[in-house]
Amino acid sequence: MVNWKKLLTKGKAMYLAYDQGLEHGPEHDFNDKNVDPLFILDIAKRGKFNGIVFHKGIVEKYFDEIKKSKVPLIFKLNGKTKLVSGEPISAQIATVKDALNYGAKAVGFTIYIGSEHESKMIEQFEIIQRESHAKKIPVITWMYPRGEKVKDDTSREMMAYAARVGLEIGADMVKMKYGGNEKDLEWAVKSAGRTKVVIAGGTKKEGKEFLKDVMEIMKAGASGIAVGRNVWQSKDPLRIAREMRRIVFGKNIPTQ
Ligand code: FBP
């Protein structure tokens, strides 16, 4: 059994993702404010997020502040830039040991199912999962169907497949994308069995529209959201965080 304490509130999760500097590059996603990891950490703390996702370099350089913030650290172990084309692979850049050295409460790992390089990522995942579980640390997989063979990564079939792969390979939580159909997500959540499902935010939407998605996601039985741009690109990140908390931790949402 892995330890979810601190990473969940009433069984639900609200994580702030900040690995986009590597994944998309500063020009694409950042402005003068949100380019600064400390700005993000402040949102995570004051917005009462259950976790903050950082890559190794940011953890090393900003560790004092991360520790002081007490926001649970989700240590992302692999990544890639958007500069390469062809079948995607996310390179491992840190180990479970690194994550533990910095007091991480969970590790994150991307797998592009459908990519020609899928097997390499799944093999690396196997070691990571074994090492994390030996220390009771949950493993969260960013499970993204991608590559030549994948025509629609958020179709009913692909969402359920991503969720199910998470269950079958031993992920504790799958982070995946939502295509906008609540029933399809419900099926994906069912397919994940006892593996928890959280949903990524995607590109910035109008606040109301994003919160409507969050409502649907929770109604479909997901455990929560792991969102980046829709929070820290917002004019008022703390307001969005407050509204999200109401929905994610609210009383009227059925539990998974
Ligand atoms: P957002 O909420 O900003 O979409 O972040 C979620 C996320 O999974 C990030 O953790 C990651 O950097 C990004 O999306 C990857 O998105 P993509 O591979 O589609 O560019």
pLDDT band for position 34 (cuts 50, 70, 90): very high
Catalytic residue among 144, 161, 177, 196: 144
On average, the pLDDT of the chain sits at 96
Is position 15 annotated as part of the catalytic site?
no
Question: Given the CA of residue 23, which atom of ligand 1 is nearest to it?
Answer: 12
Tell me how far the alpha carbon of residue 195 lies from the centroid of ligand 1, in angstroms: 20
- pLDDT tens-digit map of 1-29: 999 999 999 999 999 999 999 999 999 89
**Residues flanking ligand 1, CB < 6 Å:** 17, 19-20, 23-24, 142, 200-202, 227-230
pLDDT band for position 252 (cuts 50, 70, 90): low
Cβ(88)–Cβ(115) under 8 Å? yes
Give residue for tokens 């084309």.
Answer: 85
- pLDDT tens-digit map of 69-78: 999 999 999 9
Residue 43 backbone phi and psi in degrees, to 5? -65, -45
pLDDT above 50 for 121:
yes
* Closest C-alpha residue for ligand 1 atom 12: 20
Secondary structure of 5-47 as H, E, C letters: CCCCECCEEEEEECCHHHHCCHHHHCCCCCCCHHHHHHHHHHC
The whole-angstrom separation of Cα 139 and Cα 129 is: 6
Residue 76 backbone phi and psi in degrees, to 5? -80, 125
The proportion of the chain whose per-residue pLDDT surpasses 70, expressed as a percent, equals: 98
pLDDT at residue number 253? 53
Please name the amino acid found at residue 233.
Q
Tell me how far the alpha carbon of residue 201 lies from the centroid of ligand 1, in angstroms: 7
The proportion of the chain whose per-residue pLDDT surpasses 90, expressed as a percent, equals: 97
**Which of 52, 142, 205 to mutate for ligand 1's pocket (most ligand atoms within 8 Å of CB)?**
142
* Closest C-alpha residue for ligand 1 atom 13: 20
Mean pLDDT of 73-98: 98
**How would you label 142-156 residue by residue, b for 16+ Cβ within 10 Å and e otherwise?**
bbbbbbeebeebbeb
Tokens read off for 71 = 């926001």
- For the ranges 83-87, 136-140, 165-169, 252-256, the lowest mean pLDDT is seen at 252-256
Tell me how far the alpha carbon of residue 65 lies from the centroid of ligand 1, in angstroms: 24
E strands, 112-244, in order:
139-143, 173-176, 196-200, 224-227
Is position 175 annotated as part of the catalytic site?
yes
Catalytic residue among 12, 76, 175, 177: 175
* Closest C-alpha residue for ligand 1 atom 19: 202
